[in-house]
């Protein structure tokens, strides 16, 4: 009979292959890689976002990030180019940037919210 051998040994080999390939591709194991970050940033930049919604969401950011100029220890985000802004938030969300407040803030932002915030702040000065 022609077909896939179903011996235990073959199945063990298949399992080993799967485990090894998953280990070789962090994305498959549910971890974050540079590729994932890049893909997330691309996807968010592709969303057609509403700056007015971003302005609404961004109200809470202004407690720390002043409308213009940097406060001590807090970078200015008004006027940041969208790609820089989105990358920063995606990295905080993934835990790749080390700031507790920003990690917590970014963790609850969905892609469309990040896109809207980026559109708003890029246009702000
Ligand atoms: C409690 C204060 C606080 C709040 C609220 C806050 N941030 Fe931040 N944010 C910071 C600090 C402090 C940093 C710099 C942290 C660091 O050094 O990584 C930062 C960094 C950033 C950066 C990276 C800037 C850069 O050029 O690297 C972005 C983008 C940003 N915040 C966006 C936001 C947005 C959007 C919101 C609202 C949804 C927000 N932040 C709310 C304190 C805050």
pLDDT tens track for 39-52: 999 999 999 999 99
Same domain for 12 and 46, yes or no, is: no
- Count of domains observed in the chain: 2
pLDDT at 64 over 50: yes
Q: What are the two backbone dihedrals, phi and then psi, of residue 94, each rounded to the nearest 5 degrees?
A: -85, -5
Same domain for 45 and 6, yes or no, is: no
Distance 41 CA to ligand 1 centre (A): 17
Same domain for 2 and 56, yes or no, is: no
Same domain for 67 and 7, yes or no, is: no
Same domain for 17 and 71, yes or no, is: no
Among the listed residues 51, 47, 53, 64, the one whose alpha carbon sits nearest the alpha carbon of residue 104? 64
**What is the model's pTM?**
0.79
Distance 24 CA to ligand 1 centre (A): 33
Q: What is the pLDDT of residues 72-122, one digit of tens each?
A: 889 999 999 999 999 999 999 999 999 999 999 999 999 999 999 999 999
Residue 125 in 3-state DSSP? Answer: coil
Atom 33 of ligand 1: nearest residue by CA position: 61
Same domain for 78 and 58, yes or no, is: yes
Alpha helical stretches, state H, 1-75: 8-24, 34-46, 51-57
Same domain for 17 and 65, yes or no, is: no
> Tokens 């507790």 appear where?
100
Atom 22 of ligand 1: nearest residue by CA position: 88
Domain boundaries, position 16: 1-29
Same domain for 60 and 106, yes or no, is: yes
């Amino acid at each position: 009979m022609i077909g896939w051998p179903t011996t235990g040994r073959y199945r063990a080999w298949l399992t080993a292959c799967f485990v090894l390939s998953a280990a070789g591709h962090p994305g498959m194991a549910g971890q974050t890689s540079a590729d994932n970050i890049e893909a997330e940033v691309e996807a968010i930049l592709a969303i057609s976002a509403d700056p007015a919604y971003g302005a609404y969401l961004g109200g809470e950011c202004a407690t720390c990030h002043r409308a213009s100029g940097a406060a001590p220890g807090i970078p200015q985000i008004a006027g940041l180019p969208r790609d820089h802004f989105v990358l920063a938030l995606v990295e905080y969300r993934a835990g790749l940037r080390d700031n507790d407040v920003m990690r917590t803030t970014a963790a609850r932002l969905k892609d469309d919210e990040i896109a809207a915030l980026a559109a708003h702040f890029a246009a702000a000065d």
